[in-house]
A = this chain, B = another copy of it.
Amino acid sequence: MTLVEGILAGKQRAIARLITLVENRPREAVPVLQDLYPHTGKALVIGITGPPGAGKSTLVARLTRRLRQRGKTVGIIAVDPTSPFTGGAILGDRIRMQELATDPGVFIRSMGTRGSLGGLAKATHNVIRILDAAGKDYIFVETVGVGQSEVDIVKTADSTLVVLVPGLGDDIQTIKAGILEIADIFVVNKADRQGADRLVAELEMMLDLSEKEVAWRPPVYTTVATGNQGIDAVLEGIEEHVRHLYQNGQLEARRRERYRAEIMAIVEEEIKARLLGQWSAGSLEELLEEVAARAKDPYAAAREILKPWTGNGKGGS
């Protein structure tokens, strides 16, 4: 059985092997990903974001269990913002997902930002693609929604849940401005805590104040994920949102956005690799030396790096 066949058959080991290849030697993974591509586009991609400690992983674990009970298969990608430094991905609350780890209908992977933003976005797109080709019905992409890179990733999901909790005080104020633009569904988790009602009321008020003409007003659900409360309602909310997107042709539009982001990530990475390949390490250091000595400014230096390309008449845009 080839790697492609293994993935199309949904084999956990084949999936894991290709993801590792994608992370470590992305160029070698390309032909396999190209072979898988025609078999993709069936999975529903759900973004989950929110501040640290909001209970995102627990919520994902509960949603997954419910989907499994309904006979659906699930992929979970936890994008861990801390690992750029270390290279490996450590998921703090991975332990909460352990109950799912032995289920062959669930594939869980945590991913670190080991390279650049482009690298993470591209790797995440690829892992979504792999899980999609492997036949997963639902793919959750969980991120801590504070960094641009993580947000860029969830923004391209079919449906995005923003998970908040009462009692984070200032933090909610800080993220408030932005969440409206990415949230399709709000979940107030840990709703048994004091302040949950007020948070729900604040969110509803915020929604009231925003544009009236929107076709979809994000619903606000309350959950106690640890206590398994409110999970079904959230699942129904996701389904309803996806149905709405589908009826409006927006599902395709969002996916096109995902393709666009993905293609651009590939383009960027390719450009960077090629440009740096054209400069020997030594001549790049010399250029940096000149910039450090203020003999050349960074724009002039950039222009020099670009010269092989702009010098051939293509640079007139």
Contact = CB atoms under 8 A, between A and B. Distances in A.
A125 B302 CA distance: 14
Contacts of A90: 174, 177
Interface residues of A, number: 88
Interface string A167-182: 0011101111111111
B306 A174 contact: no
Contact of A267 (B88, B275, B312): B275
Copies of this chain held together in the complex: 2
Given A86-B181, A170-B93, A263-B291, A33 B149 contact: no
Residue of A86, A93, A116, A148 ringed by the most chain B CB atoms within 10 A: A148
A116 to B, nearest CB: 8
Contacts of A147: 81, 144, 146-150
A92 interface: yes
Contact of A263 (B175, B255, B298): B298
8 contacts: A81-B147, A82-B177, A146-B146, A148-B149, A260-B288, A274-B309, A274-B315, A312-B314
